[in-house]
Amino acid sequence: MTQARIELIKTRLNEVLQATQVEVIDDSHLHEGHASAGGAGHFRVTVVSDQFQDKKMLERHRLVYQALDDIMNTEIHALSIKAYTDAELASAS
C-alpha cells in the first residue's frame, strides 16, 4: 500500500503541477499507533515546478494541497512540503 500511495502522490504532483522533480518520503513508520490517522500515511514531499514562480510559500503549499485534494483525507494524514522552482533548486546546489 505504501508504494501505491507514493506513486499516486508523485503522479498527481507531476500531472497537475508539471513538476520537473518530485520526491516523496513515507514517514508513516514514525507515527505508528497514531489512531487519528485512520490508516492514512505521513509523507514528506519535495516538488520542483516552474508553476511556483513568483509565488510565496503559502501559495505554493496551496497548489500542492489542491493537486492532492481528494486523497488528503483518505491516503494522506500529514504532509510536509518543500516547493521550489527549477532556478531556486539550481542556485541551492
CATH number, domain at 25?
A: 3.30.300.90
| pLDDT for the residue numbered 22 | 97
| pLDDT for the residue numbered 30 | 65
Low-confidence ranges of the chain (pLDDT < 50): 37
| pLDDT for the residue numbered 31 | 55
**pTM for the model:** 0.87
Tally of domains in the chain = 1
| pLDDT for the residue numbered 37 | 47
Domain that holds residue 71: 2-92
Per residue in 49-88, is it b (16+ CB within 10 Å) or e — as a string?
A: bebbeeeeeeebbebbeebbeeeeeebbbbbebebbbeee
Nearest to 12 by CA among 24, 29, 25, 1: 24
